[in-house]
């Protein structure tokens, strides 16, 4: 005799609806909990400064280029819309990269360096490579110009971090410190500095290499040899190029020359007009959009000399705000370096902060006439889609590393003593 088993209705406990709904709701809560889990303060600091500098840069690119665009019969938003397109691509990529595990960055270190090096070789292909001011460091595809060397900065930092991380127990030996760091690093830097004649980007790549070696913990006597090699290589690249030597001699001979300021021509023309822009802004600036130097006086107003337009329109206060944002970015990155236990994270973060902050210092120093004109953009702010995209991807890597830092656990408050109760004697 068979007995029929009652079938549970969907609205009863244990029915199909409740049986399916409970796991689904629980999984959804777990997924949302992971998405909105608290993050370290370093994550918020780096993310906020990156977004603020990017927004600040879009405003300044619009202000610096709208006059030229209108003079050409184009829309005043012609240039800034292209820059905004790269920002709209780069910011989501930064947030996606911030969710990637550290193992991902370790696995792509070698492939990323190989791909970006092959990408850099495209500048030598006839019909693709573009020469600008003596530098063959751009390619033009479908009407867009891209600078492949910008992506080499991030891939070199990742590769150096991975190689030095794998050799962390062998860094007391000269051979393990220099091989393969010096040959491969020299090849990458040589493609840019010698092949493309871009000394500014080559110097930034050299700084990344030195920064990664420094944060890997190699001994000082081993660090001094690569430092000397970098200085010698930079001097050789400068001496062998008449264009670079002209820039360097211009910054040295005309630094205190009143003749250069009275009649700025030749190599000192743009440098002097950059100083004029900063001086004309004063403390509070002429107001956003009211720059005078952007009306044909400052050729590189939207890229290498955008800090001069910033100082002219927003004054000393605007310049200090931008410097403070870069300082906060550096503080967040150095906190990651100090708190992490992973040598790979420490080395790559060191290379990225040397790249971003060091390039900002060089760019601002050029505008202030402290350095010769090197042709490096101001990170986050200068016109240039590939530059903005590479910096945002680097920030994504830093945000990914920040997620691995331990969270601070709040100290539990002491329980209140009930009224009338006597505290225990010690």
Please say if the pLDDT value at position 267 is more than 80: no
Asked if residue 322 is part of any domain, the answer here is yes
Q: Out of 29-33, 164-168, 420-424, pick the least confident.
A: 29-33
| 151-184 confidence digits (pLDDT tens) | 999 999 999 999 999 988 887 787 778 888 989 9
Please say if the pLDDT value at position 197 is more than 90: no
Residue 176 is predicted with a pLDDT of 78
Q: Which of 213, 240, 267 is the last residue of a domain?
A: 240
Asked if residue 166 is part of any domain, the answer here is yes
* 398 and 273 in a common domain: yes
Q: Out of 9-23, 102-116, 194-208, pick the least confident.
A: 9-23
Percent share of the chain, pLDDT over 70:
80
- Looking at per-residue pLDDT, the higher value among 140 and 56 belongs to 56
Which residues lie closer than 8 Å to 205 by C-beta, 6 or more apart? 149, 152, 153, 156, 185, 188, 189, 192, 193
Which residues lie closer than 8 Å to 124 by C-beta, 6 or more apart? 136, 195
* 302 and 225 in a common domain: no
Rounded to whole angstroms, the Cα distance separating 318 from 309 reads: 10
Residue 53 is predicted with a pLDDT of 97
Q: How many CB atoms lie within 10 A of CB 91?
A: 19
Look up the domain containing 383 and give its range.
39-99+254-402
Q: Which of 215, 240, 265 is the last residue of a domain?
A: 240
Asked if residue 258 is part of any domain, the answer here is yes
Asked if residue 4 is part of any domain, the answer here is no
* 91 and 173 in a common domain: no
- Looking at per-residue pLDDT, the higher value among 146 and 407 belongs to 146
* Letter string b/e over residues 361-398, b meaning 16 or more CB atoms within 10 A of that residue's CB: ebbbebbbbebbbbbbbbbbbbbbbbbbbbbbbbbbbb
DSSP 378: P
| 350-379 confidence digits (pLDDT tens) | 999 999 999 999 999 999 988 888 889 999
| 217-250 confidence digits (pLDDT tens) | 888 878 888 888 888 888 887 777 666 666 666 6
Please say if the pLDDT value at position 425 is more than 60: no
Element (H or E) spanning 135, and its range? strand 135-141
Residue 337 is predicted with a pLDDT of 96
For the chain, the residue count is 426
* 92 and 208 in a common domain: no
Provide DSSP, 175-214: HHHHTTHHHHHHHHHHIIIIIS--HHHHHHHHHHHHHHHH
- Looking at per-residue pLDDT, the higher value among 315 and 299 belongs to 315
Q: Out of 147-151, 294-298, 398-402, pick the least confident.
A: 294-298
**Which residues share a beta bridge with 141?**
144
Residue 17 is predicted with a pLDDT of 45
* 232 and 154 in a common domain: yes
Token pair recorded at residue 425: 């004697």
* pLDDT winner (highest mean) among 13-22, 129-138, 248-257: 129-138
Residue 18 is predicted with a pLDDT of 46
Rounded to whole angstroms, the Cα distance separating 166 from 42 reads: 26
- Region 77-100: mean pLDDT is 95
Residue 418 is predicted with a pLDDT of 64
Percent share of the chain, pLDDT over 90:
51
**What's the mean per-residue pLDDT of the chain?**
84
Please say if the pLDDT value at position 77 is more than 90: yes
* 139 and 187 in a common domain: yes
Please say if the pLDDT value at position 421 is more than 70: no
Asked if residue 125 is part of any domain, the answer here is yes
Asked if residue 222 is part of any domain, the answer here is yes
Q: How many domains does the chain have?
A: 2
Asked if residue 135 is part of any domain, the answer here is yes
Residue 30 is predicted with a pLDDT of 46
| Spatial contact of 100 and 400, defined as CB atoms under 8 Å apart | yes
* 234 and 263 in a common domain: no
Residue of 330, 331, 285, 337 lying closest to 312 (CA atoms):
285
* 370 and 269 in a common domain: yes
* 82 and 61 in a common domain: yes
Please say if the pLDDT value at position 31 is more than 60: no
């Amino acid at each position: 005799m068979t007995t029929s088993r009652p079938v549970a209705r969907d609205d009863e406990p244990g029915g199909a609806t409740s049986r399916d709904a409970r796991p689904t709701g629980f999984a959804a809560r777990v997924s949302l909990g992971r998405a909105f889990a608290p993050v370290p303060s370093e994550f918020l600091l780096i993310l906020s400064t990156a977004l603020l500098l990017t927004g600040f840069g879009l405003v300044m690119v619009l202000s610096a280029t709208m006059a030229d665009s209108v003079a050409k019969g184009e829309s005043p938003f012609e240039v800034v819309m292209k820059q905004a397109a790269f920002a709209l691509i780069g910011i989501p990529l930064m947030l996606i990269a911030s969710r990637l595990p550290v193992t991902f960055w370790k696995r792509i270190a070698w492939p990323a360096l190989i791909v970006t090096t092959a990408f850099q070789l495209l500048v030598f292909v006839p019909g693709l490579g573009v020469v600008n001011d003596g530098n063959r460091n751009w390619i033009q595809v479908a009407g867009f110009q891209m600078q492949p060397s910008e992506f080499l900065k991030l891939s070199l930092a990742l590769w150096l971090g991975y190689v030095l991380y794998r050799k962390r127990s062998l860094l007391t030996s000269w051979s393990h410190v220099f091989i393969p760091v010096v040959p491969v690093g020299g090849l990458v830097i040589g493609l840019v500095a010698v092949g493309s004649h871009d000394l500014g980007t080559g110097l930034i790549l050299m700084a990344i290499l030195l920064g990664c070696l420094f944060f890997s913990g190699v001994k000082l006597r081993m660090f001094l040899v690569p430092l000397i090699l970098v200085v010698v290589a930079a001097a050789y690249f400068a001496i062998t190029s008449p264009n670079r030597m002209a820039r360097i001699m211009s910054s040295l001979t005309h630094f205190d020359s009143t003749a250069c300021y009275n009649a700025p021509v030749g190599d000192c023309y743009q440098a002097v007009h950059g100083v004029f822009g900063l001086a004309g802004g004063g403390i509070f600036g002429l107001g956003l959009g009211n720059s005078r130097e952007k009306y044909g006086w400052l050729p590189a107003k939207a890229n290498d000399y955008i800090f001069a337009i910033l100082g002219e329109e927003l004054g000393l206060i605007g310049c200090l705000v931008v410097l403070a944002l870069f300082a906060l970015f550096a503080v967040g990155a150095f906190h990651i370096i100090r708190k992490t236990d992973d040598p790979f994270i420490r080395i790559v973060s060191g290379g990225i902060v040397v790249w971003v902050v060091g390039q900002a210092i060089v760019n601002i120093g050029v505008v202030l006439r402290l350095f010769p004109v090197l042709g490096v953009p101001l990170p986050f702010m200068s016109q240039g889609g590939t530059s903005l995209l590479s910096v945002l991807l680097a920030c994504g890597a830093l945000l990914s590393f920040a997620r691995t830092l331990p969270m601070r656990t709040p100290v539990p408050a002491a329980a209140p003593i009930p009224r009338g109760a006597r505290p225990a004697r010690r």
